[in-house]
A and B are shown apart, each in its own frame.
Chain A
Amino acid sequence: MKIAVCAKQIPDPATPYSLDPETHFVVRPNDQVLDDTDRYGVEMALQLAEANDAEVVLVSMGPAGNLQGVRQALAMGADKAIVVDDEGLRGSGALVTAKVLAAAIQQEGGVDLVITGTESTDGYTGVVPQQIAALLGLPALSFARKVELDGTTLKVERISATGYDDVECPLPAVVAVTSGAVEPRYPTFKGIMAAKSKPVEQPTAADLGIAADAIGEAGSGQEITSVEDAPSRTAGTKIVDEGEAFQAIVELLEKAKVI
């Protein structure tokens, strides 16, 4: 059995971002970290792999840098990684990202289960998992807070507005797990040392059979024309409670159409 986990390397959210003044893209430092939300996907994959004797393959798109974020996931226990890095991918939107990830999964072959996060920390469009599923022609199970494998049946608890739904489908499938679904392990020193020699493939888009005009800003049909600072927040309204504050709050909430 083979499980693919989509995992994104992002600039460390603890350090300030900067934008390239020409392209308006985020400047990607050499040191990147594994997106926190993807730790849950990696942990879920490792737990399922331990119970079902499976191989775990990481799939990632983006500037590879020194691969520190990918090595983090390998140190947790994943077996190998595929990192698609290609100058031409700069400016790719969510759909192009999904196409590239789907192509990498397809080329890897024999994947029974694709695990993703629900929403990345930096892009947070939250659409890549469903797009990958559609491109691969697989069922997409989203918002999973619990995932079980029963033979070739995937069973998940899908978080709903009021609680959760029990959903199941046959493999192969794509499942997007929520943050907090499992408790990601801390890598051990042995894991860190082992990660050093685990295979990391770095194909280009062309290696995956994707045409140059189908990727990047052009392929995404999008262009960043300008970037402006968000307007600074204006001072709030102070409500002093003299026993009637709740009324003022209700009025404000009604005006904001929250209630």
Chain B
Amino acid sequence: MDFAPSAEHEAFRKVVREFAEAEVAPHAEEWDRTHRFPLDTVRAMGEMGLFGLPFPEEYGGMGADLLTLCIAIEELARVDSSIAITLEAAVGLGANPIFRFGTEEQKRAWLPDLTAGKALAAFGLTEPDAGSDAGGTRTRAVLDGDEWVLNGTKAFITNSGTEITSLVTVTARTGPDEISTIVVPAGTPGLVIEPAYRKMGWRASDTHEVRLEDCRVPAANLLGERGKGFRQFLEILDEGRIAIAALAVGLTQGCLDECTAYANDRRAFGAPIGSYQGIAFKCADIAVAADAARLLTYRAAWLRDRGERATREAAEAKLFASEAAVTAAREATQVFGGYGFVDETPVSRFYRDAKVLEIGEGTSEIQRIVIARTLGLPV
């Protein structure tokens, strides 16, 4: 059994950690406070090749595996979840569907800018009345001559309204029992990007409601086969869940590193608070949570990198890592006492950022359903 990262994976982890500590951590509090999407930092990540990690070199990618992407997301999330989700969504939800289901022409047209981080793609599945139940999609696309005419609303769409968003891929009904995936280029008349949500966490990540009002795109913008939209979505879901699990691992590790340093430093009753078991044991528990979540995540990534299915393993990693992150962030805030409740302290941001991990890319309840079904239960 061996799913240990190689020496090159570890060398890469060091590079991303250094970048995160030098270019992200010092600004994360301000970006969070001002809800600012840090475009310059995204561009710098593009130059480092982060947006092209799991894609082949012929499309401008780095030819790396899913584990490498997980390591990058983990190291970014260790200091800031917003920047990590920007990368995760851009790669997992934005570029991946184009790469997986696009024609050669579509790939050549869209991927080079996406893999270089010069452009971002968004994926619109969720609707105001259809989230977990994605099959309940109401958005419609009707073929009119050689154009699709789209009408509907998508909710909570990450990276849909940045200055460099180049496209939003949406799922839509193209017939009574038929969901298809269609690429809508940014700037298309009828594609309306609503003002950004005011969020509890992930505040420096870009999230909007997106409306489609008689929005016309060429028939050639159909992504993959007509009527296969839902199945296609299910296919890329596992990788997305593994990447979110990596984000949760990073957040948990961030909590651990912050707490351990603080517990050694902060004194009460004449001794460091880390000398009291009540605090030391919290740190120990967070360490175990980080390791267990990391192992589940790396196992799932490793299976995918070997070309195997990993639906259950991905759901397990996502479920465990996100719930561990929420617990870790709550306990880390406790270790910091009153300082954990004010914005200047990273763990207070981590606490707000953690919750959504149990919601996005399939809620905890949905992960449990997926896992229970693999146990043969009729849930």
Contacts and interface: CB of A to CB of B under 8 A. Distances in A.
Contacts of A72: 11
Contact of A189 (B18, B47, B53): B53
A121 to B, nearest CB: 15
Given A186-B48, A188-B48, A193 B15 contact: no
The dominant DSSP class at the A interface is helix
Interface residues of A, number: 13
B8 A190 contact: no
B48 A190 contact: no
A13 interface: no
A187 B10 CA distance: 13
Interface in A180-227: 185-190, 192-193, 196
B8 A193 contact: yes
A196 B12 CA distance: 12
Contacts of A75: 11, 15
B262 interface: no
Most chain A C-beta atoms within 10 Å of own C-beta, residue among B18, B48, B57: B48
Given A186-B48, A189-B62, A68 B11 contact: yes
A74 B67 CA distance: 23
Contacts of A8: none
A80 interface: no
Contacts of A68: 11
A192 B57 contact: no
Contacts of A196: 8
A186 B19 contact: yes
Nearest to B65: A189
Contacts of B47: 185-186
Nearest to B19: A186
Interface residues of B, number: 15
Contacts of B15: 75, 186-187, 192
A190 B57 contact: yes
Nearest to A66: B7
A158 interface: no
A71 interface: yes
Interface string B37-48: 000000000011
Nearest to B18: A186
A192 B19 contact: no
A185 B63 CA distance: 20
A193 B63 CA distance: 10
A189 B49 CA distance: 7
B68 interface: yes
B64 interface: yes
Contacts of A192: 8, 11-12, 15
B93 to A, nearest CB: 21
Interface in A154-192: 185-190, 192
Most buried by A among B11, B47, B63: B11
Nearest to B61: A190
Interface in A128-176: none
B69 to A, nearest CB: 10
B70 to A, nearest CB: 13
B301 to A, nearest CB: 15
Nearest to A68: B11
Contacts of B63: 190, 193
Nearest to B71: A189
Interface string B18-57: 1100000000000000000000000000011100010001
Interface in A49-102: 68, 71-72, 75
Nearest to A76: B15
A192 B8 CA distance: 6
A185 B62 CA distance: 16
Given A71-B11, A72-B11, A196-B8, A189 B64 contact: yes
A16 B49 CA distance: 33
A4 B18 CA distance: 26
Contacts of B68: 189
A180 to B, nearest CB: 14
A231 to B, nearest CB: 26
Interface of B: 8, 11-12, 15, 18-19, 47-49, 53, 57, 62-64, 68
Shortest 3 CB-CB distances between A and B: which pairs? A188-B49, A189-B62, A189-B64
9 contacts: A68-B11, A72-B11, A186-B19, A186-B47, A187-B11, A188-B49, A189-B62, A190-B49, A196-B8
Given A75-B11, A186-B15, A186-B19, 11 more contacts: A71-B11, A75-B15, A186-B47, A189-B49, A189-B53, A189-B68, A190-B62, A190-B63, A192-B8, A193-B8, A193-B63
